Structure 1
Amino acid sequence: MIEFHRVTKIYPNGVVGLENIDLKIEKGEFVVIVGLSGAGKSTLLRSINRLHEISSGEITIDGKSITKAKGKELRRIRRDIGMIFQNFNLVKRSTVLRNVLSGRVGYHSTLRTVLGWFPKEDVDLAMNALERMNILEKAYTRSDQLSGGQQQRVSIARALAQKAKIILADEPVASLDPLTTKQVMDDLKKINQELGITLVVNLHSVDLARQYATRIIGLKAGQIVFDGSAREATDKRFSEIYGKPFEVGINETDREFKYESIN
């Protein structure tokens, strides 16, 4: 369980990223965060694992304060939190297997991981994760030889090998084509349902949010303006999130559904 207690983030230039956020995310939820660029989506997501430090308040993971944690305690909490990035965040010149094994670094000494001394159990975990992502045959291929969709599935496999209880995904399909987007979102939904992993995902596409989320959180100017199920996320509620009326349209260039403002 993830809990935000009156969390505020103010950047050095005075911009308010988050303002007095109170939020509870239960184990096993598939939460999608939506909002305009600059609404605070990435700030909220990255504050969960302290990639962004908050200015005030507290965030707890399973009752333990990650805000106050230091040293080994912080590493132990972070070990349970996987991260998926828009740009995949892989070591391009390393093999797929080595990239997935990097999810195990939190379990071993720095020297051991630098030298690549991973026990057989870790290799088995990595291979199983790649098999679950239907990419096992690419285990010994260099990551930079994969398509964007394959690279993103490698990053998901890395989080699985990490044995993460929570996976944070920051715009994981923003750079993918529509077909690959569906495949990656289906993969995330599958591990959420089959493994009970809690997912917190930032998305620009409200259509995808409605299709995959069990819960949608709308942010506007660093504040939560909507928190409910996909069924409750009506066009009217999205208008409140985005600040103007919106209608569903079709982008003829990439055939993706998107929201466009009504002039």
Structure 2
Amino acid sequence: MIQFKQVSKVYPNGTVGLQEIDLAIRPGEFVVIVGLSGAGKSTLLRSINRLHEITSGDISIDGRSITSTKGRELRVMRRGIGMIFQSFNLVKRSTVLRNVLAGRVGYHSTLRTMLGLFPKRDMELAFEALDRVNMLDKAYQRADQLSGGQQQRVSIARALAQEAKIILADEPVASLDPLTTRQVMDDLRRINREMGITTVVNLHFVDLAREYATRIIGVRAGRIVFDGTPAQATDEAFAAIYGRPVANDERLGEMSHEAG
């Protein structure tokens, strides 16, 4: 499904983001990327849909290079990739339904979407997506009236309405409390299992990575230093990824106890 071939990224200031990454992510996997802040997790994730452009190498999706694709073809490829951000990226003054319908924008002309002229099927997809994340009753509320967890579920619904084959989630629970964190992760896992959507998530908490991933990838200084199952991701493996023992604030369980 997603193939990295000798992918490197060097920023204009000389900072190396990624170093010669070779990686294949299979259809239907729930991959969690872990690593310290600045290790290259976000660069790796965001290079898949070209939010970050790579310096060399190639990334392909279903055998087609997204790296060399341009114009309309690129827009069509990006339609199949849903993106979930730490900050939710919702239009706060719009309704929940309008935010979810934003996932359909790539399928229509600019004028049509500016006028809000979405066909019946789009409306059905939006309502189905909201139902999947238990937010149907909030369809006509403004996004800024929702809690953080509810806003993140709306962004998941937006990716579903987009009919994404791949969901990329960049630290989707970093700004949420422990209980809401689990609710959002449960939604992502359920969608991954029920709909077979390939899911790639950056996470800060090691216990969440073990609990939800089918595969864990550890990144350090722009290189992949671990690639294995949750069972193989021992505390020793995480210490090797981080270059030091796992800290308490890197375990959600510890944070829950402290909050309690």
Fold match (TM-score > 0.5): yes
Give the 5 Å matches for 1:177-256.
177-246=177-246, 250-251=254-255, 252-254=257-259
Structure 1 residue 236: Cα displacement:
1.1
SS state at 1:36 partner:
coil
Structure 1, unaligned runs of 5 or more: 256-263
CA distance in 2 between partners of 1:177 and 1:85 (Å): 16
Return the alpha-carbon distance in structure 2 between the equivalents of residues 87 and 254 of structure 1. 22
CA distance in 1 between partners of 2:106 and 2:258 (Å): 43
Contact 1:4 1:22 in 2 (8 A): yes
Residue 16 of structure 1: aligned partner: 16
**Would the aligned equivalents of 1:32 and 1:203 in 2 still touch at CA under 8 Å?**
yes
Q: Using the alignment, how far apart are the partners of 2:147 and 2:203 within structure 1?
A: 21
Q: Is the 8 A contact 1:235 1:247 kept in 2?
A: no
Number of equivalences: 255
Residue pair 1:177, 1:254 contacting (<8 A) in 2 also: no
Partner residue, 2:3: 3
Q: C-alpha displacement at 1:191, in angstroms?
A: 0.3
Aligned to 2:79: 79
Which runs of 5 or more structure 2 residues have no equivalent in the other structure? none
Percent identical residues: 74
> AA paired with 1:62?
D
List per-residue Cα deviations over 1:114-166 (Å, max 9, x = no partner): 11110011001000100111010100000000000000000000000000000
After TM superposition, give the deviation of residue 244 of structure 1 in Å. 1.6
Query: Could you say which residue in structure 1 is the equivalent of 2:48?
Result: 48
Root mean square deviation, CA, Å:
1.0
TM-score, normalisation: structure 1: 0.95
Distance of 1:156 and 1:246 partners within structure 2: 29
| Residue matched to 1:172 | 172
**Residue matched to 1:125:** 125
Number of the residue aligned with 2:33: 33
